Structure 1
Amino acid sequence: MFETVTPPEPDKIIRLMGMFAADPRADKVDLGVGVYRSPEGKTPVMAAVKAAERAIWERQETKGYVALTGDPGFLDAMRRLVLGDAVPAARVAGAGTPGGTGAVRQVLETVRRLRPDATVWISDPTWPNHPAIIDHLGQARRTYRYYDAATGGIDRDGMMADLAGVAAGDVILLHGCCHNPTGGDLTRGDWEAVAGLCQRTGAIPFVDMAYQGFGAGLEADAEGVRVLAAALPEVLIAASCSKNFGLYRERVGAVLIVTGEGRAQAAAQGVLAGMNRQNFAFPPDHGARVVQDILSDDALGAMWREELEGMRRVMEGNRAALAAALREATGSDRFGFLGAHRGMFSLIGASPAQVETLRETHGIYLVGDGRMNVAGLTAAAIPRVARAVAEVLA
Structure 2
Amino acid sequence: MFELLKEQPADKILMLMQAFREDPREQKIDLGVGVYKDAEGRTPIMRAIKTAEKQLWETETTKSYTGLAGDVGFADAMFGLLMGDAVPRNCVAAAATPGGTGAVRQGFDMIRMADREARVFVSDPSWPNHITMLKHLEMHMQPYRYFDSETRAVDFAGMMEDLADARVGDVVLLHGCCHNPTGANLNLSQWQEVIDLLVKNGVTPMIDIAYQGFGDGLDEDAAGLRMVVSQMPEVLVAASCSKNFGVYRERTGLLMAVAQDPVRQKANQGMLNHLNRQNFSFPPDHGARLVTMVLDDPALRADWEEEVREIREGVLGLREQLAAELQRLTGSDRFGFIAQHRGMFSRLGATPEQVEAMRQSHGVYMVGDSRINVAGLNAKTVPVLAEAMVAAGV
**TM-score of the alignment, normalized to the shorter chain, above 0.5:** yes
Aligned to 2:157: 157
Which amino acid in 1 is paired with 2:276? N
Structural mapping, 1:30-41, within 5 Å? 30-41=30-41
Which amino acid in 2 is paired with 1:115? D
3-state SS of 2:238 partner:
strand
8 Å Cα contact 2:168/2:201 also seen in 1: yes
Distance 1:6 1:139, change over 3 A: closer
Structural mapping, 1:75-224, within 5 Å? 75-224=75-224
1:314, distance to aligned residue in structure 2 (A): 0.7
8 Å Cα contact 1:90/1:261 also seen in 2: no
Aligned to 1:320: 320
1:382, distance to aligned residue in structure 2 (A): 0.7
Q: Distance in 2 between matches of 1:284 and 1:65?
A: 9
Which amino acid in 2 is paired with 1:252? T
Cα RMSD after superposing both structures: 1.0
Q: Distance in 2 between matches of 1:300 and 1:280?
A: 31
Which amino acid in 1 is paired with 2:324? A
Which amino acid in 2 is paired with 1:60? E
1:269, distance to aligned residue in structure 2 (A): 0.2
Aligned to 2:259: 259
1:154-182, CA deviations, whole angstroms, 9 ceiling, x for partnerless residues? 11111111111001020000000000111
Aligned to 1:65: 65
- Which of 358-367 and 234-243 deviates more? 358-367
- Which of 229-238 and 357-366 deviates more? 357-366
Aligned to 1:232: 232
Aligned to 1:343: 343
Aligned to 1:10: 10
Which amino acid in 2 is paired with 1:306? E
Identity of aligned residues (%): 53
Aligned to 1:367: 367
Which amino acid in 2 is paired with 1:147? F
1:260, distance to aligned residue in structure 2 (A): 3.6
8 Å Cα contact 2:361/2:388 also seen in 1: no
- Which of 301-310 and 332-341 deviates more? 332-341
1:57, distance to aligned residue in structure 2 (A): 0.4
Q: Distance in 1 between matches of 2:169 and 2:212?
A: 27
Which amino acid in 2 is paired with 1:119? R
Distance 1:271 1:22, change over 3 A: same
Structure 2 gap ranges (5+): none
Which amino acid in 2 is paired with 1:140? H
3-state SS of 2:2 partner:
coil
Which amino acid in 2 is paired with 1:360? Q
Q: Distance in 2 between matches of 1:6 and 1:328?
A: 50
Q: Distance in 2 between matches of 1:278 and 1:302?
A: 38
1:10, distance to aligned residue in structure 2 (A): 1.3
Q: Distance in 1 between matches of 2:33 and 2:288?
A: 24
1:176-198, CA deviations, whole angstroms, 9 ceiling, x for partnerless residues? 00001110101111111111111
1:6, distance to aligned residue in structure 2 (A): 4.1
3-state SS of 1:384 partner:
helix
Which amino acid in 2 is paired with 1:85? D
Taking structure 1 as the reference length, the TM-score comes to 0.98
Q: Distance in 1 between matches of 2:298 and 2:28?
A: 41
